[in-house]
Amino acid sequence: MTGPEGVRCMLMRGGTSKGACFLAEDLPADPAARDELLLSVMGSPDPRQIDGLGGAHPLTSKVAVVSPSADPRADIDYLFLQVAVDKPEVSDRQNCGNILAAVGPFAVERGLVPAGEDRTAVRIRMVNTGDHAVATFPTPGGRVDYTGDAEISGVPGTAAAVEIEFPPGEGPLLPTGRVRDEIDGVPVTCVDNGMPTVLIPATALGVTGYESPQELEADAVLAERLRSLRLAAGRLMGLGDVSGTTVPKLTLIAPPRDGGAITTRTFIPVRCHTSIGVLGAASVAAGVRVEGGVGADLARLPADGDRVRIEHPTGFLDIDSGLETGPDGLPVSRRTAVVRTARKILDGTVFPRTVPVQPPGGRR
């Protein structure tokens, strides 16, 4: 820590998310003390997060903890923490591919990785799962340059491209060992290409898949069905009891309407994502390529190449996803890559509140 009252912090946008980035050495080593501090920093629990950095939504209540890596395949370790908005909870049960776009530049800014004279590639170990990624971005003159002409849906304006390549993970692409499962009469495909995800045909749940996130969140019957499906899918995917976690993600899929390959509505796990997470999109892109899966008849895939354009509520996300057949006859990931952007918003000292965190509904 920089002192008894403040903590060094960089607020960054990564992809379509926003989060607070910290060096691990600037936070308490004890996880419980660290999480209590982060709740105070972000202003949780409070629906508005009025007393902290959080933006009153899961997509803007995120934290990256970065440190040098002891893994010879990585330069840095990246621990992602999801800080709940209206509950005193901090979860490390998932990755975040959007904030991932910010941690490479952050590592260069903090001196963990030397900058190249033109471009810099940062090898990243994602502590939450042990997976790896390589983020490459411009550093002309040895400084991170956030300006550029790359445009991503859900973010106004343009910025420098952050190219992220994911080597194949060690776990199975299809965690259940099947291209298709059935849960409570609903056909699903369970896939993990960086994020445990359940693909569900929207019409199987009585919706079109083109509704706005607000419309879907207001559907109490749908919410209960999704809850039941997620709990059952978690067991099928070997994740155990997922009632207290944010994975697996549930993604409703429908045929594309705007020239893409597939339309999506993703739940995280109760709120409907206003776009789609990078790692979730990587799993969707791989999942709709699985022959016999629930997306096979819905997706309109390109005749050649690995590019899959995934439509979401605020635009689209392009994922390069290629599959091949593994020794057991099931598909495995051959290549996954994506272009994101990132921006440094604020660099300085954040001051956590000093009063104890109160549970939701408590006096404020």
Considering only residues 20 and 304, tell me which one the structure prediction assigns the higher pLDDT: 20
pTM, two decimals, is: 0.78
Region 17-29: what's the mean pLDDT?
98
Which range is least confidently modeled, 1-15, 36-50, 51-65?
Answer: 1-15
SS (H, E, C) the chain: CCCCCCEEEEEEEECCEEEEEEEHHHCCCCHHHHHHHHHHHHCCCCCCCCCCCCCCCHHHCEEEEEEECCCCCCCEEEEEEEECCCCCCEECCCCCHHHHHHHHHHHHHCCCCCCCCCEEEEEEEECCCCEEEEEEEECHHHCCCCCCCECCCCCCCCECEEEEEECCCCCCCCCCCCCCEEECCEEEEEEECCCEEEEEEHHHHCCCCCCCHHHHHCCHHHHHHHHHHHHHHHHHCCCCCCCCCCCCEEEEEECCCCCCCEEEEEECCCCECCCCCHHHHHHHHHHCCCCCCCCCCCCCCCCCCCEEEEEECCEEEEEEEEEEECCCCCEEEEEEEEEEEEEEEEEEEECCCCCCCCCCCCCC
From 176, 211, 206, 209, select the one nearest 293 (Cα to Cα): 176
Mean pLDDT of 26-40: 97
Check residue 94 and give its pLDDT. 87
* 8-36 CB burial, b ≥16 within 10 A, e <16: bbbbbbbbbbbbbbbbbebbeeeeeebbb
pLDDT average, residue stretch 214-236: 97
Q: What is the pLDDT of residues 312-344, one digit of tens each?
A: 999 999 999 999 999 999 999 999 999 999 999
d(CA 73, CA 316): 32
Ramachandran assignment for 173, one of left (phi > 0), alpha (psi -120 to 50 degrees), beta (any other): alpha
CA-wise closest residue to 110 among 200, 40, 21: 21
| Mean pLDDT over each residue of the chain, to the nearest integer | 93
In the chain, the N- to C-terminal Cα span, in Å, equals 27
Query: In the CATH hierarchy, which fold is given to the domain comprising 7-167+342-350?
Result: Diaminopimelate Epimerase; Chain A, domain 1 (3.10.310)
pLDDT category at 89 given cuts 50, 70, 90 is very high
Cβ atoms of residues 8 and 26 within 8 Å:
yes
Instruction: List, for residues 295-307, the tens digit of each pLDDT value.
Output: 999 999 988 889 8
pLDDT of residue 269: 86
Average pLDDT over residues 41-48: 97
Give burial (CB, 10 Å; 0-12/13-18/19+) of 243.
exposed
Give the pLDDT mean for 276-305. Answer: 94
**Which pLDDT band holds residue 1 (cuts at 50, 70, 90)?**
very low
Q: Where in the chain is the domain with CATH 3.10.310.10?
A: 7-167+342-350, 181-329
Residue 292: the pLDDT is 96
Q: What is the pLDDT of residue 111?
A: 98
pLDDT above 90 as % of the chain: 87
191-216 per-position pLDDT tens digit: 999 899 999 999 999 999 999 999 99
CATH of 181-329, one of 3.10.310.10, 3.40.228.10, 3.20.20.370, 3.30.70.20: 3.10.310.10
Residue 299, phi then psi, degrees to nearest 5: -80, 150
In tens, the pLDDT along 150-170 reads: 999 889 999 999 999 998 877
Record the tokens describing residue 281, joined without a space: 């999109």
Output the pLDDT for position 208. 98
Among 28-37, 72-81, 110-119, 320-329, the least confident range: 320-329
- Indicate if the pLDDT at residue 185 is higher than 90: yes
pLDDT tens digits for 104-154? 999 999 999 999 999 999 999 999 989 999 999 999 999 999 999 999 988
